[in-house]
Amino acid sequence: MDLKRISFFILLLCFTGASAQQNGQKPQDKQINIVYGGTFTKDEAQFPGGSIFSKDDERQVQFEHQGADLWCDIAVFYTEENRLKAIGNIRLQQGDSIEMNSGKMDYDGNSKLAKAWESVDLTNGQMTLTTDTLYFDREKQLAYYNSGGKVVDSANVLTSKVGTYFMTPKKYQFQRNVHIDNPEYIIDSEQLDYYTTSKNAYMYGPSTITGEEYKIYCERGFYDTKIERGYGIKNTRIDYDNKIIEGDSLYFDKVSEFASATNNIKITDTINNGVIKAHYAEVYKALDSVFATKRAVSISLVENDSLYMHGDTLMVTGKPEKRILRAFRNAKFYKTDLSGKCDSIHFDETTGITQLIKDPIMWNVDNQITGDSIHLISDMETEKLDSLKVIENAFIISLDTISGTGYNQAKGKNLYGKFIENELKIIDLVANTEVIYYMYNDDEELIGIDKTICSKIRLIMANNDIEDITFFVNPDGDIFPEKDLPVESRKLKGFVWRGDERIMSKDEIFDEDDNTIELVKIRGIDNPIDIDAEEEERQKNENDPINAQNNKATQPKKTQVKKVQAP
């Protein structure tokens, strides 16, 4: 067919379109236009009602429709239906950015929907999508696939079973078997929104990020894939620096080697098998440290029994096997047969020494022990309690359980105790020692009250009660009948009974303030977040230095942590 006949045919098509508009059919501005027809034929048997255009020696067939151009080797154009079939080396160009290539394509000019298959790829200049079948909805400005696809940009390779590309926000929504490959990490998710400009990822459903030195799991979260920084806000867990961090909301930043957690936190030390629980915590990898507050408690295993340690603030520093645990302000601890409180607690993994600092008091079952400073020493090989030291003004008191009114007491300058099989068996009081002890016969009849002073006293304990007393170096005292020892003389100087303060359970290490903490409300857990609006705001802040500075205030505030020597 010569060029004149082609020109006449094009005029005929235009006339047909105008007539259809007058008859109430599709308006002309929706009509697919022929830019270059090449050669023309018809094949009613194979393509009834279709006009077949094929490339010639000069160029490919070209069509135009509402801001998009299409080139191909062969096109079957259905004028009345305003649709076409394109075959061979297809290129669809929309504006300056969107280009789609494929082997075959169906395009409907009324719905502006294109279906492309056979070696499909789509690019926006920043990324390339490849798949076997792609649907391009130009009315809604989105493209989607349902049979597997791959997206490659300058940072990542992303694959999924189902994917949708939204062109205005330049966002992909991947579903089912989502996988991101990056030289530094791998992301797997059930659903993930990915912005091609910022390379930010928003995750939904079970999702895992695996880096060289960390692993993050969440079911709702955000991740900046360029700098490896993000957060999780549903069933989140981070495996980081030999620790497992769990909480309602977790934040992670690889560059600063920092992670933080908010609400219902659990940090597990995988090497020392210790656990910290709190409602706010920070982990500093470079400093080998953990900071925790808001109902913070450390839980460790001592001789098949859990030791709970609490303070307004908990801090763990040091490398594995050399950990130092400190509880600051209003420190308390509880174990089945041991509890106590003081201003602060310091535990050194290297020496096995736990120091109770400032106004310490301890209860070993029913025995109340006080002094200026109390040290508990553990055998780090057996992980059992080994010994006890009370330095200056040592005082041990227990209620006489038979009479229910008197108190067995012993005091001295210092106290040294020995644990055998985790039970306090031997107590030595030295320097200026005194004792008051209620003595009974086998029938639990009171023999008398022993009141003695000497240079040293040894108490042998059985079942956490005094079984035997030995006095050393010139003991001076006597056993007084009850009637001969006035009540006011039955208490040693400095006696203070604090039985009502005794910690009887792990729950009692917490004060009312700890139990009435109002948890921070985590955005997005109960109500969905407008991700597009959040991404727009995030990009606005990053592009505006003033907003970027203000935005830093919304990130977790890092606590100043310093390594200090043990007191």
CATH number of the domain to which 45 belongs: 2.60.450.10
Instruction: Say if 197 falls within a structural domain.
Output: no
Least confident of 169-178, 300-309, 340-349: 300-309
Kindly state the helix (H) or strand (E) to which residue 532 belongs, with its residue range: helix 531-543
C-alpha distances in angstroms, 484 versus 401, 450, 493?
21, 12, 19
Instruction: Say if 39 falls within a structural domain.
Output: yes
**Banded model confidence at residue 306, pLDDT cuts 50, 70, 90:** confident
Residue 1 has pLDDT above 50, yes or no: no
Residue 94 has pLDDT above 90, yes or no: yes
**Banded model confidence at residue 543, pLDDT cuts 50, 70, 90:** low
Instruction: Say if 561 falls within a structural domain.
Output: no
What lies within 8 Å, CB to CB, of 311 at 6+ separation is: 296, 326, 327, 328, 329, 330, 331, 332, 344, 345
Domain limits at 116? 1-147
* Helices and strands (H, E) in the chain, number of each type: 4, 40
Report which of residues 535 and 260 the model is more confident about: 260
In tens, the pLDDT along 282-299 reads 999 888 899 999 999 999
Greatest extent of the chain over all pairs of C-alpha atoms, in Å: 139
**Banded model confidence at residue 273, pLDDT cuts 50, 70, 90:** confident
How many Å apart are CA 512 and CA 515, to the nearest integer? 5
Instruction: Say if 103 falls within a structural domain.
Output: yes
Instruction: Say if 222 falls within a structural domain.
Output: no
Instruction: Say if 54 falls within a structural domain.
Output: yes
Residue 76 has pLDDT above 80, yes or no: yes
The total number of structural domains in the chain stands at 1
In tens, the pLDDT along 203-240 reads 999 999 998 889 999 999 999 999 999 999 888 999 98
Cβ atoms of 69 and 92 closer than 8 Å: yes
Cβ atoms of 364 and 461 closer than 8 Å: no
Residue 460 has pLDDT above 60, yes or no: yes
Instruction: Say if 122 falls within a structural domain.
Output: yes
Instruction: Say if 415 falls within a structural domain.
Output: no
In tens, the pLDDT along 506-541 reads 999 999 888 888 888 776 555 556 777 778 887 777
